Amino acid sequence: MGLAVTRDPRFDILFEPVRIGPLVAKNRFYQVPHCNGMGYARPRAHAAMRGVKAEGGWAVVSTEEVEIHPSSDISPYIEGRLWDDRDIPALALMTEAIHKYGALAAIELVHAGMSASNLYSREASIAPSHIANPASYAPAQARSMTKADIRSYRRWHRAAALRARRAGFNIVYVYAGHSLSLAMHFLQSRHNHRSDEYGGSLVNRARLLRELIEDTKEAVGADCAVAVRFAVDELRGTDGISADSEGREVIAMLAELPDLWDVNVSDWSNDSKTSRFAAEGYQEEFVRFVKQLTTKPVVGVGRFTSPDAMVSQIRRGVLDMIGAARPSIADPFLPKKIENGDIDDIRECIGCNVCVTGDHTMTPIRCTQNPTMGEEWRKGWHPEVIPPRTGEDSFLVIGAGPSGLECARLLGRRGYTVHLAEAGEQPGGRVTRESRLPGLAAWARVRDYRLNQLNKMQNVEILRGSRVTADEVVEFGATRVVIATGSHWRRDGIGRANCRPIRGFDTKRTVFTPDDLMDGAPVVGPVAVFDDDHYYLGAVLAEKLRLTGLRVTLVTPADRVSAWTVNTLEQHTIQKRLLELGVEVFVNRNIVEFSRSEILLECTYTGRQTAIQAAAVVTATSRLPNDEVALSLDAMPEAVDAARIVSIASIGDCHAPSTIAAAVYAGYRYAREFDRPPGDEVAFQRELTDIRAP
């Protein structure tokens, strides 16, 4: 962080304390619950990650969903777990880490009802009525709860609240959000078909939620605050809860019962919309009514990274506390930076949802903007504190994409002398190019944060318009060379579905790569986009071409458009957008040949072939590293020795093409670890299973 220590008085309001039931939050920054792929399985990593948030100034730091009972087993996903007393010590690690910095610890108690697979516990799932989970194709159903089941559930929830207090939590949640909890399933008329006092009218459907709030207050309310997380709108019109009918009525009915309302939209993909589909503050239109109906503090989210936007939410009476999951992941020190007047140093979330992929892949959370996220314990990385240099090395970093920029930033912060050579006039590499595509403008924040930091450093020089050759590297005089020259898209069609070139792809002038399109190549229609990459780019390019009025077809060997984006919660929205734009979509189709203005498609199941008309093909299949400099240096060991170069390393896409997040991580990792003694040991701490008696 910079040297400024005075905060702009217009942000003072963000640092006012807020009373929450029996407690006081020290400011208005509230880290709402978020998943992280650590949960019960990696408690030390989890505790350290939350501790860093508290250190960064958040007044409240929450867990993710915490399962309260084996019949709410969300496996294979890794969330929090509080099934019995033996789960208390792991969660206490986290509350200790949070309390150390004067923050309040919140726990989101969850019974997931029909959303729980119970694959580990092998219990039957429970629901208001007999129902198959609409979010899963699993051949299992949830059974309708009897009155005795409802009484048991209330007892489990109460017991979990008491355990939560013993684990040191200050705020205990009753969760009715994201269509992921029993309390919400009871509220939803489409899921609640009961004819007893828990079904039918909204008063009846809300009975369970009311009872849970009352039970929790009665159990722990003397010293803990009781929060309700409630989805006021499901964005499905009259078929669901909506802010202008039942969402509003529930708040009106229970207005003063909890100590805090944490309100949002449902489901998770609507709540955590990416920047491609929603702007900062996008939930305001749904949640702004809540404060008019309650005197209790109201928390809401909206990917807030701008302090002015936050102040505006408070001043206009929309929210009392600024809720954040993703902005707190991208910059755990966001509150501290605003408090210290270091607005320039905020690492703004780009809204890409790479953080969500950790939960979906059951691996520790990662973040495009913050490479230390998830590494706080296992590698001891800290988002702001970096060890100083350990020697007199000087660095030549070649390529100013996300990887080279991050590497230079961190080496610079450590105090090394760094030259960052970039072939083009504009730094940023792929993020600069991709940020010009429809919906991806926020990608540029990856570049802008780093450039801004680099511009403040006397010891780092950026050499623009400098395409470096191997000969120039040995003449340059740096002791260490880092190659971050990126990658380029293949033209031959080789990717996942094709291990050999596609006939006609490498010979025709009408076959374009994503690089060609980003360089402004003129494409004529009708055009087919072949997406064997399965992340966002194929669909974004189809959208771009369609927006210019061309006839566009998207062909993919997967069973859906942008298949991997199920992990970023975007898949449904992406496919919907293409269909609405009039892009014709062929799924489960490979391309066999491109000839005479025709593309031969092959069904991935039957092998049956059909032809479609196309004057051009855009092929997004896989990439090749730009490894010319690395290979040339490898071939001239004597010259390298004579130049007294101690090490040459390739990082990011020129090492192995991957995500922007992986490139940033590689840049950080190199700068952080290049001076560690080499060895074959595992590069991080692990949480090994304790095999002593249970």
Residue ranges binding ligand SF4 (CB under 6 A): 326, 329-330, 349-355, 367-369
Helix or strand or coil: residue 113? helix
Supply 403's token pair.
């990887």
Q: Is 670 a catalytic residue?
A: no
Q: Which is nearer to ligand SF4, 247 or 402 (CB)?
A: 402
Q: Which is nearer to ligand ADP, 464 or 644 (CB)?
A: 464
Cβ contact 262:173 at 8 Å: yes
Taking the C-alpha atoms of residue 511 and residue 613, their distance in angstroms, rounded to an integer, is 14
In angstroms, give the least distance from the CB of 302 to ligand SF4: 13
In angstroms, give the least distance from the CB of 399 to ligand ADP: 3
The residue from 327, 402, 504, 514 that contacts ligand ADP (CB under 6 A) is 402
Which H or E run includes 369?
Answer: none
Q: Which of 57, 87, 54 is nearest to 70 (CA)?
A: 87
Taking the C-alpha atoms of residue 637 and residue 640, their distance in angstroms, rounded to an integer, is 5
Q: Which is nearer to ligand ADP, 59 or 482 (CB)?
A: 482
Active-site residue, selected from the candidate residues 178, 191, 534, 655: 178
Q: 430 is in the binding site of which of ligand ADP, ligand SF4, none (Cβ under 5 to 8 A by kind)? A: ligand ADP
Binding letters toward ligand ADP, positions 575-614, x by CB under 6 A: ----------------------------------------
Q: Which is nearer to ligand SF4, 437 or 630 (CB)?
A: 437
**Residue 434 CA from chain centroid, whole number:** 18
Tell me the CA end-to-end span of the chain in Å, nearest whole number.
Answer: 46
In angstroms, give the least distance from the CB of 351 to ligand SF4: 5
Supply 86's token pair.
């033996």
In angstroms, give the least distance from the CB of 333 to ligand SF4: 14
Q: Is 271 a catalytic residue?
A: yes
Asked whether the CA dihedral 232, 236, 237, 239 is positive or negative, the reply is: negative
Q: Which of 520, 367, 536 is nearest to 433 (CA)?
A: 520
Q: 583 is in the binding site of which of ligand SF4, ligand ADP, none (Cβ under 5 to 8 A by kind)? A: none
Q: 442 is in the binding site of which of ligand SF4, ligand ADP, none (Cβ under 5 to 8 A by kind)? A: none
Q: Which residues contact 67 (CB under 8 A, 6 or more apart)?
A: 73, 74, 79, 80, 81, 82, 83, 110, 111, 112, 116
Q: 350 is in the binding site of which of ligand SF4, ligand ADP, none (Cβ under 5 to 8 A by kind)? A: ligand SF4
Q: 62 is in the binding site of which of ligand ADP, ligand SF4, none (Cβ under 5 to 8 A by kind)? A: none
Cβ contact 209:186 at 8 Å: yes
Supply 234's token pair.
């499901």
The residue from 113, 258, 302, 404 that contacts ligand ADP (CB under 6 A) is 404
The residue from 39, 374, 401, 504 that contacts ligand ADP (CB under 6 A) is 401
In angstroms, give the least distance from the CB of 34 to ligand SF4: 9
Which H or E run includes 455?
Answer: helix 444-455
Q: Which is nearer to ligand SF4, 569 or 592 (CB)?
A: 569
Q: Which of 79, 43, 68, 78 is nearest to 164 (CA)?
A: 68
Active-site residue, selected from the candidate residues 267, 271, 359, 532: 271
Taking the C-alpha atoms of residue 633 and residue 396, their distance in angstroms, rounded to an integer, is 14
In angstroms, give the least distance from the CB of 427 to ligand ADP: 7
Residue 63 CB: number of other CB atoms within 10 A? Answer: 29
Under rule CB under 6 A, residue 518 binds ligand ADP: no
Contact window for ligand ADP (CB under 6 A) among 65-73, 119-127, 400-408, 606-614: 400-408
Question: What is the helix, strand, coil percentage profile of the chain, to 5?
Answer: 35, 20, 45
Q: Which is nearer to ligand SF4, 431 or 511 (CB)?
A: 431
Cβ contact 632:485 at 8 Å: no
Q: 237: burial class by Cβ within 10 Å (0-12, 13-18, 19+)?
A: exposed
Q: 283 is in the binding site of which of ligand SF4, ligand ADP, none (Cβ under 5 to 8 A by kind)? A: none
Q: 620 is in the binding site of which of ligand SF4, ligand ADP, none (Cβ under 5 to 8 A by kind)? A: none
The residue from 21, 80, 399, 493 that contacts ligand ADP (CB under 6 A) is 399
Task: Give, as ranges, the residues between 625 and 664 that touch ligand ADP (CB under 6 A).
Answer: 626, 629, 652-654, 663
In angstroms, give the least distance from the CB of 99 to ligand ADP: 39
Active-site residue, selected from the candidate residues 35, 224, 349, 367: 35
Burial 130-144 (b: 16+ CB within 10 A, else e): ebebeeeeeeeebeb
In angstroms, give the least distance from the CB of 490 to ligand SF4: 27
Cβ-defined contacts of 681-684 (< 8 Å, 24+): 683/379, 684/375, 684/378, 684/379
Cβ contact 551:638 at 8 Å: no
Q: 495 is in the binding site of which of ligand SF4, ligand ADP, none (Cβ under 5 to 8 A by kind)? A: none
Cβ contact 213:223 at 8 Å: no
Q: Which is nearer to ligand SF4, 347 or 672 (CB)?
A: 347
In angstroms, give the least distance from the CB of 103 to ligand SF4: 19
Taking the C-alpha atoms of residue 235 and residue 300, their distance in angstroms, rounded to an integer, is 16
Q: Is 178 a catalytic residue?
A: yes
Tell me the chain's radius of gyration from C-alpha atoms.
Answer: 27
Active-site residue, selected from the candidate residues 77, 173, 175, 416: 175
Q: Which is nearer to ligand ADP, 343 or 441 (CB)?
A: 441
Q: Which is nearer to ligand SF4, 269 or 353 (CB)?
A: 353
In angstroms, give the least distance from the CB of 134 to ligand SF4: 26
Residue 564 CB: number of other CB atoms within 10 A? Answer: 16
The residue from 484, 585, 592, 661 that contacts ligand ADP (CB under 6 A) is 484
Q: Is 175 a catalytic residue?
A: yes
Helix or strand or coil: residue 155? helix
Q: 355 is in the binding site of which of ligand SF4, ligand ADP, none (Cβ under 5 to 8 A by kind)? A: ligand SF4
What distance separates the 2 farthest-apart alpha carbons in the chain?
86
Q: Which is nearer to ligand ADP, 400 or 529 (CB)?
A: 400
Cβ contact 146:198 at 8 Å: no
Contact window for ligand ADP (CB under 6 A) among 95-103, 334-342, 418-426, 507-515: 418-426
Cβ contact 484:667 at 8 Å: yes
Taking the C-alpha atoms of residue 402 and residue 663, their distance in angstroms, rounded to an integer, is 6
Rounded alpha-carbon distances, angstroms, from residue 394 to 126, 136, 296, 408 = 62, 54, 57, 11
Q: 401 is in the binding site of which of ligand ADP, ligand SF4, none (Cβ under 5 to 8 A by kind)? A: ligand ADP
Task: Give, as ranges, the residues between 422 and 481 that touch ligand ADP (CB under 6 A).
Answer: 422-424, 429-430, 466-468
In angstroms, give the least distance from the CB of 661 to ligand SF4: 6
Residues classed as catalytic: 35, 175, 178, 271
Interface positions with ligand ADP (CB under 6 A): 398-404, 421-424, 429-430, 466-468, 484-487, 626, 629, 652-654, 663
